[in-house]
Structures are given as C-alpha cells and as structure tokens.
Amino acid sequence: MPKEKKQNSRVEQSIRFPKFGLREEKKYFIENLGMLLGANINPDTALEIIESGTKSPRMKRVLHFLQSEIGKGTPLWLALQKSGILAERYITLLRIGEQTGKIVENLNILSDQEQKEHDFRSKIRSATLYPAFVLCLAVVLGLGISWFILPRLASVFSQMNIPLPLLTRILIKVGTFLTRWGKIAIPAFFAFLLFWIFFLFVFKKTKFLGQAFLFRLPGIKKVIMETELARFGYLLGTLLKTGIPLVESLESLAEATNSYAYKKLYSYLSQGTEEGMSFAQNFASYPKTGKLIPPSVQYLIMAAEQSGKLPEAFLSIGQKFEAQAEVTTKNLTTFLEPILIITIWLGVVFIALAIIMPIYNLIGGINR
C-alpha cells in the first residue's frame, strides 16, 4: 500500500510539471499516437505500445496516467488536458478532432505544429547563438591573455628605460591590475555577465527587456519578425481550418509565442475580436501594429476577412515568411562572420602593436 501511494504521488508530481525536459518524448508521443490511431488501434492499446517504446520514466508515468483515465471512460482529449502534457491550444485541436471524428487528422496537424514550433525556435536561436558564441570566445581568450600573459609582459616593459607608447602603457596597466586583482576581477566579471544574461533573457518578469533589445538590432529584428509572422500565419491558418473559432485561435497564438510584444498584440486582437471588432479595426486601434505586422500583410488579412478566406490567407502568410526567415537566418550568419572576424582581428592587432612597438623603439635606440 505505501508503495502504491508513493507511485501515485510520483505520478501526480510528474503530471503537475510534465512539460519540462520532455520535448522529444512529446514529439515521439504525438507522432506515434497519430499513426497508431490511424491504423484503427484503440487509444488504450496505442498508449501501451507507446509506453513500451518510451525510455523516460517521467513520460512512462504520464502514459500510465492516461491509460488509467481512458480506462475510466474519459475522452482522450480530456485525459490529455488533465495530464498537462500538451499545451491548451493542442488540447482544443484534439477535442474538436475527437468530437468531429477527425482525431487522426488533427493529431497529424498537431505533429506538424510541434515541428514548426521547433523550427521557429531554432531559427531565432541560430540567429543569436553564433555571434554570441564567437563574442564569448573572444572575451574568454582576451581575458586569458590579459590574466596570464600581460602581467609578465608588464614586468618586462616596466624595466625598459625607454619611453613607452600609449598602447603599451595601457597594456602594462591592465597587466598590473590583473596581477593584483585578477582572482577577484575576472570571476566578478563573469558573474556580472551571467547575471545580466539571466536578467535579460531568462527571468520571466524581465526578459521582455532582452527581447526589446534584440528587436532593435537590424538583422536579428528581421529574423524575429519573420519567424513570428510565420508562426502567426501557420498556426492561425491550421487552427481556423480545423474549425476552431477565431477568438480561441488568437488566444492559442498568444500562448504559443515567447515574444512579449507579439503576445501583447495577439491578446489585444483576441479581445477585440471577441468584442466584435474586425481585423481592420483592431489593426487601426493598436498603436504598434505597423512595427510588428507589415502593412502588406495587414491588407492581405483584411481582404481575406471580407472574402471569407482567412485560413487560406494565413497559411499563405506562414509559408511566405517561413521561407523568408530561412534565407534571412543564413544571410545574417554570413553577414556577421566578417564583422566578428574584424573585431577579433582588431584585438589581436592592439596586443601585437603594444608588444612590438617598444621592442622596435629599443632596437632603434641601440642602433643609434
């Protein structure tokens, strides 16, 4: 009995926090559930098969919970909602699919959405990760040279009875400072850097500041904007196509995005639509629409709303901007490479000149 109680407690804990660290397991679950149900295998058996191929203990407990719920007669979508394994927008999609007999089709759509979300996140990550990695590497190398090499050079140059160039004097001061305070200054620098990274890009209450900063950088802004518009078009298009109401689709979109600016816009659109406003009215009344959604896209949506072809228009927008984001990401990396190389080169030249110039002056003095 205590063992069973302990197991149930673990299940509840897993159900309470199921999404963390289960991205690959969720993908495997969605893909296989769609295939198995498409082969006319009942949900309970399908879950058993998926559980047998799942390695994660946490995911196994979630699947066990789902089997238990379905065994009680709970609909699949409701069991999934109770488990918390999927986002609410996915639950809505599955609920409609189960009620209309299109559960397999909607599971396939859900699988595509999950893959798209992964692609969208990867595009933004790749646009920012490469330059960040190179700059961090440059900082680490620079600090390594400053800590281990400059102090020795400083002691050598300080013994020379010749006037030292400005660059060399700066080098000596840095080397002297690090000799005295390096064990405190360098760890403090990294701690300060990590604090700001956490504050701007990780902490939920303040990461909108980091997003605002990235949105002001020309190349990265374009990638973020195109990626968000691709998500905007694809997600709204697929949700509307499956029969989910526009208000609910916009709420799902607000839930899906990580961008504070776009989340705020989507919530506003959802609220305005619920109050009976058209897209034209929503776009006109929201102050920052033009910065987030290009005018051409706005006009396309307004025209599609009047003609009753919103799903098709949104899917077209999604396809267009997904392709553009792919090209922009590649171009951004190509554009940043020479800038980063030049930045590192300037640092190397600075150190080289600071070392060579006094040696050259010393040799010149000896020759005279």
Neighbouring residues of 83: CB distance < 8 A, sequence distance ≥ 6:
15, 18, 62, 65, 66, 69
Instruction: Tell me, yes or no, whether 359 and 227 share the same domain.
Output: yes
Does some domain include residue 100?
no
Q: Which residue has the tokens 């390594």?
A: 144
pTM, rounded to two decimals: 0.69
Instruction: Tell me, yes or no, whether 264 and 317 share the same domain.
Output: yes
Q: Which domain holds residue 330?
A: 111-368
Does some domain include residue 95?
no
DSSP 243: T
Instruction: Tell me, yes or no, whether 11 and 136 share the same domain.
Output: no
Does some domain include residue 326?
yes
Q: How far apart are CA 302 and CA 351, in angstroms?
A: 59
pLDDT tens digits for the chain (368 residues)?
344 444 444 444 444 444 556 777 888 888 888 888 888 888 888 888 988 888 888 888 888 888 888 888 888 888 888 888 887 777 877 888 887 788 888 888 878 877 777 776 776 676 667 667 777 777 777 667 766 776 676 666 666 666 777 877 777 777 778 778 878 887 888 899 889 988 988 888 888 888 888 888 877 788 889 888 988 998 888 888 888 889 988 988 888 788 899 999 999 999 999 999 999 999 999 998 988 999 999 999 999 999 989 999 999 998 899 888 888 877 877 777 777 778 778 877 877 777 777 777 666 655 55
Does some domain include residue 99?
no
Where helices occur in 160-288 by DSSP H, the ranges are: 166-201, 207-215, 218-241, 246-256, 260-274, 279-285
Instruction: Tell me, yes or no, whether 189 and 61 share the same domain.
Output: no
Instruction: Tell me, yes or no, whether 71 and 121 share the same domain.
Output: no
Instruction: Tell me, yes or no, whether 143 and 268 share the same domain.
Output: yes
Does some domain include residue 103?
no
Does some domain include residue 106?
no
Domain count, the chain: 2
Instruction: Tell me, yes or no, whether 199 and 250 share the same domain.
Output: yes
Instruction: Tell me, yes or no, whether 267 and 334 share the same domain.
Output: yes
Q: How many CA atoms lie within 13 A of 266 on its CB side?
A: 25
Q: How far is CA 120 from the centre of its chain?
A: 8
